[in-house]
Structure 1
Amino acid sequence: MTASPTPVRNWAGNLTYASPRIHRPTSVDELSSLVRDTPRIRALGSGHSFNRVADSDHDLVRLDVLPREIEVGVDTVTVSAGTRYADLATVLHRRGFALGNLASLPHISVAGSCATGTHGSGDRQRCLAAAVRRIELMGPDGETVRLGRGDDAFPGSVVALGALGIVTRLTLEIEPTFEVSQRVRLDVPLDEVAADFDAVFGAAYSVSLFTDWCGTTGRVWLKRRVGEPGGMWSGGRSASVPQHPVPGVPTEPATEQLDVPGPWCDRLPHFRPELPPSAGAELQSELYLPREVAPEAFAALREIGDHIAQVLYIGEVRTVRADDLWLSPAYGRDSVTFHFTWHRNPEAVTPVLREVEERLAPLGARPHWGKLTTLRPMEVVGRYERAADFADLLERFDPTGKFRNPFVDSYFPRP
């Protein structure tokens, strides 16, 4: 087992993890001994979070060099927690299977994505964690705890911020493989999207709107599942050449467009796994709102669009179906999400983000657990009906606080 004593930065480069040691065990036995013998420890995934949800001033552990497991069954796949979605998708498609949903980036790890409620887009698509049927995690004594749907703790154990233990394996729902084609509509009036939101976002299996909130139009990515009827909406004009979500950025990292059918794993993400997707040094934030308030949210953001655009690479609007996971930002409600990819300039971005959240918070906004927010922790927790139940789980699964960190403590203080 190796341990890094040198500073490690996250993917975006906006923070350096405070941990003095980052361990990389090569076997489950090594991981078990490490967890049992270490007073405070947390798991670090692929480092795609923009805040300190995964950080600790004690030990961290990465699972990326544990033996990779991908066990495909009839309607599920069991996968080791450190596996990237890109690697999982390749194996599944080769075996004739698919996941129903993927995030914009296939570079991210399965366990980290599920722990923070990360999602793709689609009126029928729940967050990635909602595909989990069983979860295995290592408790403070180094022993494995197994939970499945039907267990009382299961809805609180999947989107759990890494606070209940070190997740080692997950079992996900799968389905037969399918093909997707994607096309982009340009110069779509934002007024049209706000007024006919259901038609726009129901026009394909997965739909995303990109805009800077300053102009009057946006660009809509339509990912159609081959063999399924699409919606009738066709606003704006059809793109005749490939597009990148960020205007002016080379399009090579973007997945294939122009209505060319291809495997689900090569079309549902916005970006190819073998290339860096970033527009450059960036920050990200995202807010989930009840779907029905989308028109009000559009109006609120456009009122301050000139402020937003000054520090923004691009904004994205997506839809997420409701789920039953206690800390999922889509818990109990079909949601619309407003994502912001900001310039990596915290001093300039923070006041604008605060202004955005002041406008959207009264509409019921819940921030993404792995991205930046200016909302106070108690204000955020107050938006989750099962927050008290999750706090009880923390005490039940980790009574000594081995897996806690300052981020978790700020939202769920010790009794």
Structure 2
Amino acid sequence: MSHDSELNWAGTLEYGAADIIDATTIDEVSSLVAGAKRIRALGTRHSFSDIADTNALLVTVTGIEPDFVLDEDARTVTVGAGTRYGILARFLEDHGWALHNMGSLPHISIAGAIATGTHGSGNGNGVLSTAISALELVVADGSRRVIRRGEPGFDGVVVGLGAFGVVVRVTLDIQPSFQVRQDVYRGLPWDVLLDDLEGVTSLGYSVSVFTDWVEETIANFWVKTRMDAGTEVVDEWRGAKRDIVSAGALWETSDDNLNEQGGVVGPWLERLPHFRLDRIPSNGDEIQTEYFVPRSQGGDALRALRALGPKIAPHLMITELRTAAADDLWLSMAYQRDSLIIHFTWKNEPEAVLALLPQIEEALAPFEARPHWGKLNTVDAATLARLYPRLPEFRALAAEWDPTGAFRNAYLNRLIFTGE
């Protein structure tokens, strides 16, 4: 099936592709790639940047059957790359297994999430891409190529920005299923967050802090506790109290699409994501921006942004603060540094947001803030070159895999392959 024009999930970005084809088999992907001078892969359209766009051909793999292959001895699962995380999670739970983490939306495709370094939260949890142990891609000549963890270039290909080929199969690390409870806390003083960020984010397996930047205390933060971790759930922590009555809504009426809170124990796949798979994710009519800063400097980064609070708040739905453990994936936003992740869900006011972003990025510049590849930002190529020490190797590896530039687009040419 093909389309004349399409929008991203939130309706804030129109793809400029000459055609969008929904492939139903890997063989079809191979034929399309082999016959195209330029082609890009498109996932579940949750990006707010033009990373997936092209003026040529877009191909989706979300319609290819998951074809799950569970290897319990190796503790891995192999699945179609376009499969949504929530679908994979249900399969794993039904067989007694789990992923180490989930993003806030279970609706996103695996390949799209890992190619952009998408994440959940947790001081000890790597971004979703760190669970990948092998990838199968359709490369520029239409052939299929597999690369595995430990092989040369693997750490460059995983968060690959679509530059190496169309990912069609992924193998992920798994672990035995586990139970999680999710508790909402209210009334955290700002000073506590700023002075003891690590204390806040270490309260559970996964912690999310929500703010509008101008409130006197933190509206609410969510602590997701693994029941097998031996972590004590407290009713009060440094002025913040656990709310055992009401849900931690993100904005008006959002609580009806959230996974259960209030300390009710449930399976990992129904607690680690914020939103339910069977409901509309997030708000829907929004723009998203996100930056990673070193967690050791997180308090100072938040202080710098809080000074902009009066400018930010009128255009903001909510900011969410999360964390990620350092990794060795070349273009991961958490490359070699434990990170605080600062996420903005904006109202759909593109002019106002685009005017604000340079001010936010200037405030975060001293902390070498790395923008999420799939979120809207105005960071330029020279800045990215400073932020990613392995970028020259990434360019060389991509040129080796894709010598004709079949998978390049305006985004990559503007930000990655400058001067070529």
Q: Same fold (TM over 0.5)?
A: yes
Counterpart residue number, 2:346: 342
> TM-score, normalised to structure 2's length?
0.96
Measured against aligned partners, the alpha-carbon deviations of 1:102-126 in whole angstroms (never above 9, x if no partner) come to 0000000000000000000001100
Partner residue in 2 for 1:153:
153
Aligned-partner Cα distance in 2 for 1:27–1:182: 39
1:269 to 2:273 alignment:
yes
2:231 corresponds to: 230
**Alignment partner, residue 21 of structure 1:** 19
What TM-score, normalized by structure 1, do the two folds share? 0.97
Query: Is the deviation greater in 69-78 or in 112-121?
Result: 69-78
CA distance, structure 2, for counterparts of residue 250 and residue 348 of structure 1 = 24
Paired AA for residue 297 in structure 1 = A
Residues 187 and 217, structure 2, Cα contact 8 Å, conserved in 1: yes
**CA-CA distance at 1:265 after TM superposition:** 0.1
Quick check: 1:331 aligned with 2:330? no
Partner of 2:309: 305
The structure 1 segments of at least 4 consecutive aligned residues displaced by more than 3 Å after TM superposition are none
How big is each residue's C-alpha offset from its partner over 1:119-178, in whole Å with a ceiling of 9 and x where there is no partner? Answer: 000011000001000111011111011111111110000101011100011100000000
Distance 2:379 2:114 in 1: 22
Question: Which residue of structure 2 lines up, in the alignment, with residue 243 of structure 1?
Answer: 247
Q: Cα deviations across residues 269-323 of structure 1 (Å, max 9, x unaligned)? A: 0100100123241100000001100110121111111111010000011110001
Distance (Å, rounded) in 2 between the aligned partners of 1:216 and 1:88: 41
CA contact (8 A) 2:179 2:267 kept: yes
Residues 49-68 of structure 1 aligned to structure 2 (within 5 Å) = 49-68=47-66
Amino acid at match of 1:140: A
Further displaced range: 345-354 or 331-340: 345-354
Within-5 A mapping of 1:3-14: 3-4=2-3, 6-14=4-12
Q: 1:18 Cα deviation (Å)?
A: 0.2
Pairing 1:316–2:323 present = no
Contact conserved, 2:247 with 2:262, CA < 8 A, in 1? no
**Residue 259 (structure 1) aligns with:** 263
CA contact 1:242–1:251 (8 Å) conserved in 2? no
Matches within 5 A, 1:22-171: 22-74=20-72, 75-171=75-171
Q: What is residue 395 of structure 2 aligned with on the other side?
A: 391
| Unmatched segments (≥5 aa) in structure 2 | none
Aligned to 2:207: 207
Are the aligned partners of 2:290 and 2:372 in contact in 1 as well (CA < 8 Å)?
yes
Contact 2:254-2:283 within 8 A present in 1 as well: no
Q: CA 1:26–1:247 in 2, change beyond 3 Å: closer, same or farther?
A: closer
* Structure 1: runs of 5 or more not aligned: none
- Separation of aligned partners in 2, 1:226 and 1:61: 41
Deviation at 1:245? 4.3
After superposition, the CA RMSD in angstroms is 1.2
2 CA distance for matches of 1:349 and 1:365?
18
Q: Distance in 1 between matches of 2:413 and 2:93?
A: 40
Residue range with higher mean Cα deviation, 25-34 or 133-142: 25-34
Count of residue correspondences: 413
In structure 1, the partner of 2:358 is 354
**Taking every aligned residue pair, what percent have the same amino acid on both sides?**
44
**1:398-413 maps to which residues of 2 (within 5 A)?**
398-413=402-417
Q: Which amino acid aligns with 2:415?
A: Y
286-295 or 276-285: bigger deviation? 276-285
SS of the residue corresponding to residue 200 of structure 2 reads: helix
Counting only pairs closer than 5 Å after superposition, residues 345-384 of structure 1 correspond to structure 2 as 345-384=349-388
SS of equivalent to 1:47: coil
Secondary structure of 1:146 counterpart: strand
Distance 2:50 2:308 in 1: 28
Aligned 8 A contact 2:61 2:82 in 1:
yes
